[in-house]
Amino acid sequence: MELLMIRHGQSEADLLHVHEGRADFSLTKTGEVQAARMSQYVTDNFIPDLIITSPLKRAHQTAIILREYTGCELLIENDLMEFNNGVLAGLTREEALRKYPIPDGGRPIHVPIEGGESELEFRMRAEKALHKICTDYAQYNRIAIVSHGGMISNLLKSLLELPIVTQAAFPTGDTGLHLVEITAEKKIVRFLNRQEHLRYE
CA 96 – CA 102 distance, rounded (Å): 9
Active site residue 196: no
Stated as kind and residue range, the H or E segment containing 159 is helix 149-159
Indicate if the alpha-carbon torsion angle 180, 140, 128, 115 is positive or negative: positive
CA 7 – CA 73 distance, rounded (Å): 18
Cβ pair 63, 74 in contact under 8 A: yes
Which residue is catalytic, options 2, 20, 82, 119? 82
Which residue is catalytic, options 8, 19, 60, 178? 8
Active site residue 68: no
58 assigned binding-site residue: yes
Active site residues: 8, 82
* Binding-site entries for substrate: 58
* Binding-site entries: 58
